[in-house]
């Protein structure tokens, strides 16, 4: 086996990519929390709900072995170091091109950033989507997350839509009786 990188000088480690199984929920939750702490530091509106763990666990246990979802973990020994989550999507029958795969989450621990692990996870994601005959993949990324945006561009992704936000005052009055 070829060892492709050395995250710690002198130590050669090749993370192992494996679809998450029921028993891996703790690893998924740990990485998911770290990812969302980072997301919330860029935009407080992405702060996780109080009961996020319970919601995530329910979603994970229901979908981790379904063919419409992928929860892929990267391991170094018993330590989880990366996560990618994908989901099949079907838009309203109003639209001709309604089927796509959402890249729901991508996270690589800082110690493994810049090592090619994110690229490997992305390559597997593309293969998974292609195996489902998906026409396209889509994702949401925070505008200020410049590193992630540069990474997606590098992987061939292009922005095609924007999400615009209007923050509303706590109290607004209207002449109309809603
Ligand atoms: C976004 C994230 C997954 C990227 O992973 P990473 O390990 O930091 O990515 P890398 O720096 O290793 O870059 C991987 C590849 O992209 C290339 N790349 C990254 N930024 C680039 C840039 N600005 N210009 C050109 N290439 C770039 C690297 O050269 C590398 O190529 P290689 O594998 O062929 O050598 C990672 O930083 C992360 O988990 N961030 C926190 C969570 C997050 O923001 N997730 C996305 C939320 S939408």
pLDDT digits (tens, 9 = 90+) for 21-55: 999 999 999 999 999 999 999 999 999 999 999 99
Residue 12 confidence class, pLDDT cut points 50, 70, 90: low
For the Cβ of 38 lying below 6 angstroms from any atom of ligand 1, the answer is yes
For the Cβ of 118 lying below 6 angstroms from any atom of ligand 1, the answer is yes
Q: What homologous superfamily does CATH list for 16-154?
A: Gcn5-related N-acetyltransferase (GNAT) (3.40.630.30)
Atom of ligand 1 nearest to the CA of 107: 39
For the Cβ of 106 lying below 6 angstroms from any atom of ligand 1, the answer is yes
79-90 vs 137-138, strand pairing mode: unpaired
| pLDDT score, position 3 | 44
pLDDT digits (tens, 9 = 90+) for 73-130: 999 999 999 999 999 999 999 999 999 999 999 999 999 999 999 999 999 999 999 9
Q: What are phi and psi of 86, to 5 degrees?
A: -130, 155
Residue extents of the structural domains in the chain: 16-154
Query: The tokens of 124 are what?
Result: 């597997």
Q: How many whole angstroms from 126 Cα to the centroid of ligand 1?
A: 16
**Contact of 139 with 152, CB cutoff 8 Å:** yes
Q: How many whole angstroms from 176 Cα to the centroid of ligand 1?
A: 49
Beta strand spans in the chain (E): 16-19, 69-76, 79-90, 99-108, 137-138
Task: Reduce the secondary structure of 123-158 to three states and give it as a string.
Answer: HHHHHHHHHCCCCCEECCCCCCCHHHHHHHHHCCCC
What average pLDDT does range 150-154 have in this prediction? 98
Atom of ligand 1 nearest to the CA of 112: 7
For the Cβ of 147 lying below 6 angstroms from any atom of ligand 1, the answer is yes
Residues forming a β-bridge with 82? 74, 108
According to DSSP, residue 97 is labeled S
6 pLDDT exceeds 70?
A: no
| pLDDT score, position 134 | 94
Torsion of CA 9, 17, 111, 55, to 10 degrees: -170
Look over the chain and give the mean of its residue pLDDT values, rounded to a whole number: 93
**Contact of 118 with 108, CB cutoff 8 Å:** yes
């Amino acid at each position: 086996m070829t060892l492709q990188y050395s995250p710690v000088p002198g130590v050669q480690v090749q993370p192992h990519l494996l679809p998450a199984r029921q028993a891996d929920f703790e690893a998924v939750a740990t990485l998911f929390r770290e990812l969302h702490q980072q997301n919330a530091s860029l935009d407080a509106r992405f702060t996780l709900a109080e009961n996020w763990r319970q919601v995530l666990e329910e979603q994970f246990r229901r979908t981790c072995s379904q063919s419409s979802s992928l929860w892929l973990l990267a391991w170094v020994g018993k330590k989880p170091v990366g996560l990618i989550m994908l989901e099949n999507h079907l838009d309203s029958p109003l639209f001709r091109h309604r089927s796509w795969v959402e890249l729901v989450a991508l996270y690589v621990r800082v110690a493994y950033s810049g090592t090619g692990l994110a690229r490997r996870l992305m390559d597997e994601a593309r293969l998974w989507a292609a195996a489902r005959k998906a026409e396209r993949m889509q994702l949401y990324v925070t505008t200020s997350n410049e590193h992630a945006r540069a990474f997606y561009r590098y992987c061939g992704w292009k922005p095609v839509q924007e999400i615009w936000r209007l923050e509303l005052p706590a109290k607004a009055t209207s002449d109309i009786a809603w």
